[in-house]
Each structure stands twice: as C-alpha cells, then as structure tokens.
Amino acid sequence: MKRSAMVSALLLAGLVQSAPAADVELNQTQMLGRRLVDQHCGVCHTRPTLVSGMYGPELSRETAGGREEIVREVVANGTPRMPGFKYMLNTDQIAAIAAYLAVLPPGHQVVNLPPK
C-alpha cells in the first residue's frame, strides 16, 4: 500500500513539473530560457517537493507585472535577496529567460491533489 502511494506521488510530481511545457509551444529563444531557468533559477523558484514551499516567488508571465525589461534588469543585477547573473549569463541568455517567463502561465507550481 505504501509503495503504491509513493509511486503515485512520484508520477504526480513528474506530471506537475512537465505541465508548463505541454501548455505552451516554445520557440528556440524560449526553449533556451526554459533550460536556463531550470539550471539557474529553479533552486529558489520551484518546489523541491509536493508539500514544501519555495524560497523565492513563483515565476510566470505575471512576474514584474509582465514587463520583460524589468525581468531582464532583475536577472542581471539581482535584488537584496537574489544574486545578479550579469557576470554568469550574457545579455542574450538573460533576454531568453525573460522571453520564457513571458509565456509561462501563472500557477504552474500549484499542485491540485484529488479530493479524498
């Protein structure tokens, strides 16, 4: 019984993480942005488990009011709680992150478990 519950939880976790890719058709720049978000932003801006919180806010097309220029500025220079990436990523990579976030739907980190 416990094993089947664990397998179900793992499958659900995989479905939740792959949902954003299924919702939106991405161009090459946005695909690069998705990879960079997974590599550099995910540690703080995604849920490590189904029941845990996140260190940073969820990222989506509503981040920074949907303004890509502000997203690029924040990614490059950081905030008091977030490091800047201007010495690690070039301007094209930062723009790719902003382009990906511009199409990422809000709520992709929400886990909708079936009612008991």
pLDDT in tens, 54-89: 888 999 999 999 999 999 999 999 999 999 999 999
pTM beyond 0.85, yes or no? no
Higher local confidence (pLDDT), 11 or 46: 46
What the chain holds in terms of domains, given with CATH numbers, is: 2-101 (1.10.760.10)
Closest CA to 15 of 57, 62, 50: 50
Environment class of 30 (CB within 10 Å of its CB; exposed 0-12, middle 13-18, buried 19+):
buried
Helices 91-101 and 68-77: crossing angle, nearest 10°?
Answer: 130
Higher local confidence (pLDDT), 85 or 116: 85
Residue 106 clears pLDDT 50, i.e. is over it: yes
Structure tokens at 79: 């905030």
What are the tens digits of pLDDT across the range 26-54? 999 999 999 999 999 988 998 877 777 78
